[in-house]
Structure 1
C-alpha cells in the first residue's frame, strides 16, 4: 500500500512559486471571504499545466506537460501529453490509470488514507481550503500579486508521503496559479497552471470510469 500511495503522489505530484518576498496576511478574514466566494462559483475547471518533478536521488528536474480538468463533485482528470502520453482520472471513489494502452482501475473507497489524500489534492488544485478537515495546519502570507497558503498535515502517516503543500492564488481573480507538493526528503512536484477556463464542462464524459 505504501508503494501505491507513493505512486499516486508521483502522478499527482509548481521553481519557487512566488519570487516576491511575502509577509503575513493583512486580513485573514478578507482572504477567506474572497476565497469562499470564488470557490463557490466554480462548477468546473479546465487548464493547461506544466509539471516540474524534482528527484533528489538524480539531482534533476523532469518536466511534463498536459491538460487538467475538474468538475464537482470529486472528479479530476490529469492528461499528460508531453513527453509521454499518460492519463489519470478520479471519479468519486475510483481511480483510473491509462498507460501504454493498458487501463487499471482501483477503488479508493475502502482506504481512509487514500480518501483523505484524494480530498487534500482536490482541495489544493482548485483552492477549496474550506473542504479540508482539522487534520491540517495552514499558514498564510501574501505579496504584491499573490496570496500564499502553506498546508502541513498533522498526521504522521500522511507526512510519510507529503510534508507540505503550498498553494499560490492570484490576487486578481483568486485562481490557483501554482501548486507545490513537498514530498519525502528533498523531492517535490510543482504544477504551473495556465489558460484556465471555468464552468465550461457540462457532462461527465471526461471522467468516465470506464
Structure 2
C-alpha cells in the first residue's frame, strides 16, 4: 500500500511538455523569485485540472480530470471526477483517501517521506521556495515562461521520481503545469485551469 500510495502522490502533480529550455541568468532568477513574493498572500486556491499520463508502450496518454482545493496553512484536496472518482485529502497531519467509497487514512507523522511530498505539493502550487536540502533546484525559460526543475536528492525518492518540473503562468505567476518524470522516462502532465484565488472554501471539500 505504501509503495502504491507514494507512486500515486507523485503522479498527482501537474505536468509540462518537454521542450527546449534555456537556463536563467542570475538576474532572471532574482526577478522570478521576486515575482513570486505576492503568492505568499495566497490563502485559498480552487482549480480544475486535466491529467495526462504518458507511457512508452501506449500511443495515447491516459486522461483524467478533477478538482483541486488548497486552504492555508495545511489543507489540500485532490478530487478525481472522470473517468473514476477518487479523493485524497491532506489535513491534520494525515492523508485521507476515498477510493470510490472505500475509505482509508495514513498518518503523515509516521512517514516522513509522505510529509515531504505533501509540503512539496502545497509549496509548488503556491510557487513557494523549495527545500534545497531535499532537491537540486534549477531555473529555466521555456517558450518565454518560467520553469523550475526539481531533482530529488534522497535515494528513496529517486526510486519513484527522476525529475519534477513546474511551469508558471505569465498572467498570474502561478503554477499552470507540472510534469513528473519517472526513472523509466514515462511521465505525467497536469494542467491547471479555471483558477480561483482567495475565495471561501467550505469545510466539506476537505472531508471524505
TM-score (norm 1): 0.87
Q: Does 1:150 align with 2:149?
A: yes
Kindly state the Cα deviation for residue 186 of structure 1 after the two structures are TM-superposed.
Answer: 2.0
Q: Cα RMSD (Å) of the superposition?
A: 2.2
Tell me the CA shift for residue 121 of structure 1: 2.2
**Alignment: residue pair count:** 205
Kindly state the Cα deviation for residue 59 of structure 1 after the two structures are TM-superposed: 5.5
Indicate how the Cα distance of structure 1 residues 123 and 77 shifts in structure 2: closer, same or farther if over 3 A, else same: same
3-state DSSP of counterpart to 1:120: helix
> Where do 1:106-145 residues align within 5 Å?
106-128=106-128, 130-143=129-142, 145=144
| Residue aligning to 1:86 | 86
Corresponding position: 1:206 with 2:195: no
- Provide the residue aligned with 2:22 in structure 1: 23
Tell me the TM-score normalised to structure 2 length. 0.88
Contact 2:16 2:190 in 1 (8 A): no
Equivalent residue, structure 1, for 2:6: 5
Residues 119, 15 of structure 1: alpha-carbon distance in 2 compared, 3 angstrom cutoff? closer
Residue matched to 2:184: 185
**C-alpha spacing 1:63/1:75, structure 2 compared with 1 (3 Å):** same
2:98 is equivalent to residue 98 of structure 1 = yes
Distance (Å, rounded) in 2 between the aligned partners of 1:119 and 1:51: 21
Please list every run of at least 4 consecutive aligned residues from structure 1 whose deviation after the TM superposition is greater than 6 angstroms.
none
Q: 1:98 to 1:12 in 2, by over 3 A?
A: farther
**Structure 1 segments unaligned to the other structure (5+ residues):** none
Once the two structures are superposed, the pairs formed by residues 57-96 of structure 1 within 5 Å of their partners are: 58=58, 60-96=60-96
> How far 1:100 sits from its partner (Å)?
2.2
Structure 1: distance between partners of 2:201 and 2:80: 22
Structure 2 CA distance, aligned partners of 1:13 and 1:5? Answer: 16
